[in-house]
Amino acid sequence: MLKDRVAIVTGSSSGIGRVIARELARRGARLVLLSNESIRILEALEEIRHLSPDSEAYEADVSSRPCVTEAVNLTLERFGRVDILVNNAGITRDNLVMRMKEEEWQRVMEVNLHSVFRLTQMVLRPMMKARYGRIIHITSVVGHTGNAGQGNYVAAKAGLEGFAKSVALEVASRNITVNCVAPGFIRTAMTDKLNSKAREAILARIPLGVAGEPEDVAHAVAFLASAEARYITGETIHVNGGMYMG
């Protein structure tokens, strides 16, 4: 259980992030939701408070240092600590590398990689003072397999795993673990828009033969955030139905 643990989840107003937040709340954590979706984040907070009444939501663009600094400071003022950080926020700007605009590369890096550095750096001081912390990055199967048309996204997700290992080495002596969860083909509103031919082609690459559910990812995150995972750090849990076996 995660009773009374304080957890920040980025990109938690919708999709996988919202399900992760809900699962952590169900296990007793107090949630701080971060998202730039002003209406959806309030809807998500209303849902979360049915499970964890003592939860908050802050509208924030994770690619903006002032925004995330304010959000972390508000969290520390409200709760006095941060026990769990889940870096889930991410975007895509797909294009072939030879056609990719500099802005498409930079924007994906800002949201998917640079924001993780900033947030991780900000929560490390209170975690080290408390001698406890769980940091979890949501990466992707394509960080291991590559994916045509997603050079920026793949580079960012692969970078997260290297970053996690380095930070894990730096903070292990303070009882802080840093791990990744790498989803494969997960059923979301975005994947539901795929046509049947594209969907069948992806499913054909998955030994279990079905798409994953957001809850599958959330369960892996909740495990890494729990006491049961105290001896796991610098690792990546793959949630992909066998699509990639590292």
Extract the tokens encoding 165: 């290992």
Residue 228 lies in a domain: yes
- Whether 205 shows a pLDDT value over 90: the answer reads yes
Looking at the domain assignment, is residue 20 inside a domain? Answer: yes
Q: What is the mean pLDDT of residues 34-54?
A: 96
Is residue 7 pLDDT above 80, yes or no? yes
Q: How far is CA 220 from CA 101, 226, 234, in A?
A: 35, 10, 15
223 lies in some domain = yes
Asked if pLDDT for residue 190 goes beyond 80, the answer is no
The CATH number linked to 46 is 3.40.50.720
Per-residue pLDDT, 78: 97
pLDDT of 246 strictly over 80: no
pLDDT at 180: 98
Instruction: Check pLDDT > 80 for residue 125.
Output: yes
| 153 catalytic residue (yes or no) | yes
* Residue 244 within a domain: no
The pLDDT assigned to 192 comes to 78
Work out how many domains the chain is built from and give that number. 1
197, pLDDT greater than 90: no
pLDDT for res 207: 96
Closest CA to 51 of 78, 76, 12, 24: 24
pLDDT-based confidence at residue 191 (cuts at 50, 70, 90): confident
Within-domain flag for 83: yes
From 58, 132, 153, 231, active-site residue: 153
Q: How confident is the model at residue 193 (pLDDT cuts 50, 70, 90)?
A: confident
Is there a domain that residue 1 lies in? no
User: Whole domain around residue 37: which residue ranges?
Assistant: 6-239
* pLDDT tens digits along 147-181: 999 999 999 999 999 999 999 999 999 999 999 99
The per-residue pLDDT for range 54-66, each reduced to its tens digit, is: 999 999 999 999 9
d(CA 118, CA 8): 14
Please report, as a single letter, which amino acid is at residue 128: M
106 in a domain, yes or no?
yes
For 188-216, what is the mean pLDDT? 89
Q: Is residue 192 part of a domain?
A: yes
Pairing verdict, β 30-35 and 56-59: parallel
Distance CA 48, CA 20 (A): 11
Residue whose entry in the numeric block shows the structure tokens 């590398």: 97
What does the pLDDT look like over 132-141, one tens digit per residue? Answer: 999 999 999 9
